Amino acid sequence: MHLLANMGVPMIAIYWPPAWLAFIPVVAIESWWARRVLGNGWRKAITSTLIANAVSTLVGIPLVWCMWAAVQLRFFGNALGLENPARHVYAVTVQAAWLVPYEQDLWWMLPAASVVLTAVFFVGSVLVEGFIMKRMQRGADVRAVRAWAWKAHLCSYALILAVVVTFLYVPRADLDRIARAPVEFVFTAALRAASWLMPPPARG
């Protein structure tokens, strides 16, 4: 994937394809937790977690990223440099959605930003999937559903983060072929959105 040096790195293009590659193992993990915590049979556990994860992955992750990126590009998009530790932290936290292209430092910024994004997406998925599971399992105890959401997602997002980081540093031909089309589509769409969201340059 070609990164435009003056536009930065929209992390959704880095994060989303590996998240989809982890989809089936994630459903398996969360289904197991649904059986353990909610007492579901396999059929109910798989059906409910499959639907909840499809909504979370298809809508939740991109929506959270879009809102974060829009705010960042509008108000926090300026490159402040990496002269001190505070700016290092700022570059991979506040600016984690759309990394400023400090090209010599992307080797550590990409995994660091992935960790930050994972934490935010984790909370979002707990809320979204917990809400969906409450609606799909009306007879279940609310506290049990809440316990399922936190326990299952701690495991599933640890897996997702591992897949994302692996995808960064251990490129494989099959994974590249699977991910190339969605990455290029998301990257192009993100660049177009950025050109619309970013404030016009000041005229001297």
Alpha helices in the chain (DSSP H): 12-21, 23-38, 42-55, 61-75, 85-92, 106-136, 142-169, 173-197
Average pLDDT over residues 115-137: 92
Within-domain flag for 54 = yes
Check residues 195 and 135 and name the one with the higher pLDDT.
135
Convert the pLDDT of each residue in 69-120 to its tens digit: 999 988 988 888 899 999 999 999 999 999 998 888 888 999 999 999 999 9
Residue 123 binned pLDDT confidence (cut-offs 50, 70, 90): very high
Asked if pLDDT for residue 191 goes beyond 90, the answer is no
Q: From CA 131, how far away is CA 14, in angstroms rounded?
A: 27
Within-domain flag for 185 = yes
Residue 1 binned pLDDT confidence (cut-offs 50, 70, 90): very low
Within-domain flag for 78 = yes
Position 4 scores a pLDDT of 42
Residue 2 binned pLDDT confidence (cut-offs 50, 70, 90): very low
Within-domain flag for 161 = yes
Position 126 scores a pLDDT of 93
Position 204 scores a pLDDT of 52
Within-domain flag for 3 = no
Check residues 36 and 198 and name the one with the higher pLDDT.
36
Q: Give the number of domains in the chain.
A: 1
Position 3 scores a pLDDT of 41
Convert the pLDDT of each residue in 172-184 to its tens digit: 555 555 555 555 6
Amino acid letter, 161: L
Within-domain flag for 108 = yes
Within-domain flag for 202 = no
Q: From CA 125, how far away is CA 142, in angstroms rounded?
A: 17
Asked if pLDDT for residue 194 goes beyond 90, the answer is no
* Parent domain of 100: 9-195
Position 90 scores a pLDDT of 94
Within-domain flag for 1 = no
Check residues 190 and 168 and name the one with the higher pLDDT.
168
Position 171 scores a pLDDT of 54
Distance of CA 10 to the CA centre of its chain: 11
Convert the pLDDT of each residue in 33-71 to its tens digit: 999 999 888 998 999 999 999 999 888 899 999 999 999
Hey, what are 46's tokens? 């798989």
